[in-house]
A and B are shown apart, each in its own frame.
Chain A
């Protein structure tokens, strides 16, 4: 059953649609929860809404016709049929509500993504395993894709793919958990509105200049000579640098062996906000975001210098990258005191 959708920006020309939207917004403002709330939250019956689906309305009309006909003709078998179907439909309404009540939404989190890429929210739920709860869908008006929430053994997760537009904290929208089970006659739904935002990284510049050259004493890229680093030996391949050959092990093994380091080390790259002249504010952010990723990919140590903040690094690795991207994502918007 399609849900009423309000995709797209409101347009003033679309009068009936906008009235519909206003009505819908008014109705939504009355539903629980009215404001974002801290998770975990347990779904109680007062925040589960049940309304017939379109098929449910059709079914009700069918039963009504059947019932009136049966009463008119005093046809008891027909009336019995109609009432049994009606009773089962009524029980399915209750069952639909019970699918949701008693369920706890534990958390909604997401791995950060760059702005412009869809972010996968992950909703974690759990419930007492006293009922079968399968086939709960999680969605929202803007979602790109959803997955099914199945609470087997009392816990389950669902992914919701949301589009992202800009860096920074993204408030998690009011998500709707709904089910039309068991018979598809009624839709039971509840809203989950987390007050914990998720982070969206700055979008990296698509085709930027290469990384700036390294600074510092070791300007040349070379292998780290220190014996302390974790490394292993491999057999020599043509083109390997001579100084990379490990002579002593080679002598023992009677074959040429080459030291290979986990990560080749280059000079520290300095990614400095102030060096990027002639770019707009956001362009600087996105170039830095690209460079951070590039430096990380090349396995180089890098240092990020942002105005008004202590430098990050020099360092490398996932944690450092996340720290840098986070700092970039959370830079105040242009005109916020940073030039």
Chain B
């Protein structure tokens, strides 16, 4: 076997098994993150390919056909929408059919190399603790497989290493590499702003939508995962004040509510804040969109976000990962007391020829109420409170949906209530708009923070009243206040789960863990990094200082790695260890004990060269020889003796010759 022929040895069965297992372990966390419609077929394709190619690799035409087939299938299932998850699904699919050609060492290595991208892709989709745990475990497995392949390459694969030894030696490598990895993790300068944007998910999870179409919120209302976590600095607002404002819907085409593009560019109008204000920090779960929410009216837009003309807060880049926002909000005493004509027209716009019964009712109310807008609002709320019911089980809306709701069904949920209310108000000539966002919140007693779930998504209305400006009106609260305010008692997450009474505490603990996880690992960014030395009095680290710190830490960690690797196996016996170190101390004098010398021979040689050192050393070596070779004497405590001896051996220092 020459050096060249050795370059691509055949895989033996064990190496092959290791490689395939490692690749499998890498792909599994990714498959868990993909929608089942993609994940299951890919898993099946992987299993089938592995089986078919177990004895020998599939021929090239079949492999090519398989590749084309798999790519086509993934694109077909994902609707050919290109996004982060489609890319990840393609990666998983390619990995699944890679075993078709894994016959040689080089194939196995490239399989493992590409498979290591799978945990990386998983983290782009999900950064939860489970994903990280699975991802790191699979990377460890990949290293074990690489080690096995390296054994094969060295021609020593036949020498079977027990599994424990194999795992331990890879663990050893990882642990030795840990200092430099952690130094880099904490100190490697982070990017303040990304170089390029993150592709959106093509098959994303539901979040607050830019548009509102009745019925399309059902998915969102059933999603009991957190959307926000909030920490208040100071007193939190009352539960009935917890309205997290999101996008504001102005335009209505009869079916769908949309935002007004015009308002995106406008500055936030003047408000007169009330006395009360709240300081808080939002931890926003990734949504793939730029829309943010804020408690009532934010005082100013935090860095990285902008506030539009209707106090809708938007981030400058899509929220693809967990983000934190420090905000201050205040309830307005008077919110935009002067409404510009253009906005007034926008807030009164209704599609022609829709909902004639509602229009007629609104006109009737207007004539009865005269100029008193507030009376119309109160009358509407009273009517809704009296005659309407709250339900999530609604039939799909037809053409004159508002008419149907107000006069026929009279049951629905927040979208129906808010949309119909706004149409009614506009019909009566009162400027009104729909506001979407979240309402309520759940306080986790562990860690004292509030959680807003995706199912807390809500829609309400704002009407503009002369002299007061925009006023929040929640027609849903008039019917089902418990939907909005009583989240603590009735709608605690986990209460309806399988665990029964234990559900709530379990949920609390797991969300608390998740939040700390977010805090410790996911929320560590350039800004947090610059405050790394704040406990030591350095308020803000500059980029160059950080780089220097990183370089120093990396060099120190590397040196430590070298030392850890090179120290070899420690002598197990403390007495022998001390004795060998004593002997090594004589190296400086050129009198180091040779490997073939016995203790007494060496002592004699030292005595000849340096008579003044001889007495101590002779005594020590005698004691050492007794400890090692003499028969144990009755009545003598061997352990105690050894401790003394070790101490004496350690104390002995040969002094250099003085002239």
A194 lies within 8 A of chain B by Cβ:
no
What's the nearest-Cβ distance from chain B to residue A53, in Å?
A: 9
Which stretch in A23-31, A130-138, A274-282, A304-312 binds the other chain?
A130-138
B4 touches A5 (CB 8 A): yes
Give the residues in chain A near B177, CB-CB below 8 Å: 84, 86-91
Chain B residues with CB under 8 Å of A145's CB are 1-2
Q: Does A70 contact B (CB under 8 A)?
A: yes
User: With an 8 A cutoff between CB atoms, is A92 at the interface?
Assistant: yes
Cα–Cα distance between A84 and B170 once the two chains are bound (Å): 12
* B-side contacts of A75, CB under 8 Å: 123-124, 127, 321
Q: In this assembly, does A95 line the interface, its C-beta being within 8 Å of a C-beta of chain B?
A: yes
Residues of B within 8 A of A59 (CB): 113
Whether B153 sits at the interface, judged by CB under 8 Å, is: yes
Q: Does B552 contact A (CB under 8 A)?
A: no
Contact B178 A183, beta carbon cutoff 8 Å: no
Interface residues of A in 150-201 (CB under 8 A from B): 150, 179-185
A81 near B191: Cβ-Cβ < 8 Å: no
B residues 106-162 in Cβ contact with A at 8 Å: 106, 109-110, 113, 116-117, 119-120, 123-124, 127, 131-132, 135-136, 139, 143, 146-147, 149-151, 153-156, 159
A181 lies within 8 A of B151 (CB)? yes
Are the CB atoms of B1 and A72 closer together than 8 Å? no
Stretch with Cβ within 8 A of A (4 or more), from B38-46, B73-81, B559-567, B612-620: B559-567
Is B576's CB within 8 Å of the partner chain A?
A: no
Q: Is A255 an interface residue (CB 8 A)?
A: no
Closest A residue, CB atoms, query B178: A87
Minimum CB–CB distance from B582 to chain A (whole Å) comes to 18
Q: Is B636 an interface residue when CB atoms closer than 8 A count as contact?
A: no
Q: A20: CB under 8 A from chain B? A: no
- A74 and B155 CA atoms in complex are apart in Å by 42
A150 CA to B161 CA, complexed, in Å = 14
- Complex formed: what's the CA distance from A83 to B154 in Å? 27
Which of B123, B198, B521 counts the most chain A CB atoms within 10 A?
Answer: B123
Complex contact A84–B123 (CB within 8 A) = no
Chain A's nearest CB lies how many Å from the CB of B295?
25
B139→A74 contact, CB < 8 A: no
Contacts of A128 in B (CB 8 A): 568
A84–B119 Cα gap in the complex (Å)?
13
A62 on the interface (CB 8 Å rule)? Answer: yes
Q: Determine whether B609 belongs to the interface, using a CB cutoff of 8 Å to chain A.
A: no
CB-CB < 8 A to B123: which residues of A? 70, 75, 77-78, 81
Among candidates B150, B169, B565, residue contacting A98 with C-beta atoms closer than 8 Å: B565
Q: Does B194 contact A (CB under 8 A)?
A: yes
Does B659 interact with chain A (Cβ within 8 Å)? no
CB distance from B139 to the nearest CB of A (A): 6
Q: Which of B158-184 contact A (CB under 8 A)?
A: 159, 169-170, 172-174, 176-182, 184
Cα–Cα distance between A136 and B155 once the two chains are bound (Å): 9
Our count of residue pairs bridging A and B at CB distance below 8 angstroms stands at 189
Partner of A83, one of B151, B184, B198, B521: B184
| B112 to A: closest C-beta gap in Å | 9
In this assembly, does B320 line the interface, its C-beta being within 8 Å of a C-beta of chain A? yes
- Does B190 lie at the interface of the complex (its beta carbon under 8 Å from any beta carbon of A)? yes
Complex Cα gap A181–B143 (Å): 12
Pick the contact of A74 from B109, B172, B196, B321 — CB < 8 Å?
A: B321
A148–B155 contact, CB under 8 A? Answer: yes
In the complex, B569 has a CB within 8 A of chain A? yes
Judged by a CB distance under 8 angstroms, whether B195 is at the interface is: yes
What A residues does B2 contact at CB under 8 A?
Answer: 139, 143-146
B65 at the A interface (CB under 8 A): no
Task: Tell me whether B113 and A55 are in contact (CB under 8 A).
Answer: yes
| B350 shortest CB reach to chain A, Å | 44
A207 is an interface residue with CB less than 8 A from chain B: no
Complex Cα distance, B383 from A336, in Å, reads: 127
**Residues B180 and A90 in contact, CB atoms below 8 Å apart:** yes
Query: Known: A3-B3, A134-B159, A144-B2. Is A66-B117 also a contact (CB below 8 A)?
Result: yes
Does B507 interact with chain A (Cβ within 8 Å)?
A: no
In the bound complex, how far is the Cα of B139 from the Cα of A136, in angstroms? Answer: 26
Alpha-carbon distance A89/B178, docked complex (angstroms): 11
Say yes or no: is A216 at the interface (Cβ < 8 Å to chain B): no
Q: Report the separation of the CA atoms of residues A98 and B116 in the bound assembly, to the nearest whole angstrom.
A: 27
- Chain B residues, CB < 8 A from A105: none
- Whether A227 is near chain B, meaning CB under 8 Å from some CB there, is no
CA distance in complex: A83, B169 (Å)? 19
The answer to whether A86 touches B181 (Cβ under 8 A) is yes
Q: Within 8 Å of chain A (Cβ to Cβ): is B397?
A: no
Interchain CA distance A179-B153 in the complex, whole Å: 9
A94 to B170 alpha-carbon distance, docked (Å)? 13
Write out the residue numbers on chain B whose beta carbons fall within 8 Å of the beta carbon of A182: 147, 150, 169-170, 173
Chain A contacts of B565 at CB under 8 A? 91, 94-95, 98
- A46: min CB distance to chain B, Å: 14
Question: Would B4 and A81 count as touching, CB distance under 8 A?
Answer: no
Given contacts A134-B156, A184-B150, contact A84 B135 (CB under 8 A): no
**B136 — which chain A residues lie within 8 A by C-beta?**
80-81, 84
Q: Which one, A55, A82, A144, contacts B120 given CB within 8 A?
A: A82
Q: In whole Å, how far is A173's beta carbon from the nearest beta carbon of chain B?
A: 13
Complexed CA–CA distance, A81 and B141 (Å): 13
Q: Is the CB of B143 within 8 A of A183?
A: yes
Q: Which of A72-114 contact B (CB under 8 A)?
A: 72-92, 94-95, 98
Q: Which residue of B lies closest to A141 (CB)?
A: B3
Chain A neighbourhood of B190, CB < 8 A: 71, 74
Q: Please determine whether B156 and A87 come into contact, CB atoms closer than 8 angstroms.
A: no
Instruction: Identify the closest chain B residue to A176 (Cβ).
Output: B3
Across the interface, which residues of A come within 8 angstroms of B170, CB to CB?
88, 182
Residues of A contacting B120 with CB < 8 Å? Answer: 66, 69-70, 78, 81-82
Pick the contact of A76 from B127, B178, B566 — CB < 8 Å?
B127
CB within 8 A of A180: which of B154, B195, B522, B558?
B154
Interface-central residue, B109, B139, B195, by most chain A CB under 10 Å: B109
Q: Which of B42-88 contact A (CB under 8 A)?
A: none
Is A77's CB under 8 angstroms from B522's CB? yes
For residue A71, which residue of chain B has the nearest CB?
Answer: B191
Q: Scoring B residues 190 to 214 as 1 if CB is less than 8 Å from chain A, else 0, what string do you get?
A: 1100111010000000000000000
Contact B173 A180 (CB under 8 A): no
Whether A62 contacts B117 by the Cβ 8 Å rule is: yes
> Interface readout for B569-596 with A: 1 if CB under 8 Å, 0 if not?
1000000000000000000000000000
Shortest Cβ distance from residue A56 to the other chain B in the assembled complex, whole angstroms: 10
A24 to chain B, nearest CB (A): 14
A73 near B194 with CB under 8 A, answer yes
Q: Return chain B residues, CB-CB under 8 Å to A70.
A: 120, 123
When C-beta atoms are compared, the residue in chain B nearest to A79 turns out to be: B185
Q: Is B391 an interface residue (CB 8 A)?
A: no
CB atoms of A84 and B124 under 8 A apart: no
Known: A75-B321, A180-B154. A85 touches B558 (CB 8 A): no
The residue of chain A having its C-beta at the shortest distance from the C-beta of B521 within the complex is A76
A181 to B151 CA separation, bound complex (whole angstroms): 7
Chain A contacts for B156, CB-based, 8 A: 134-135, 148, 150
Known: A58-B110, A137-B155. 16 other contacts (CB 8 A): A55-B106, A73-B198, A74-B526, A76-B185, A77-B135, A80-B185, A84-B139, A88-B173, A88-B177, A90-B180, A91-B561, A92-B173, A130-B569, A148-B155, A180-B150, A183-B146
Write 9 A-B pairs (CB below 8 A) sorted by A numbering: A66-B116, A74-B191, A77-B132, A79-B185, A86-B181, A98-B565, A139-B3, A146-B1, A182-B173
CB-CB nearest 7 A-B residue pairs: A87-B177, A135-B154, A87-B181, A184-B150, A130-B568, A135-B156, A2-B7
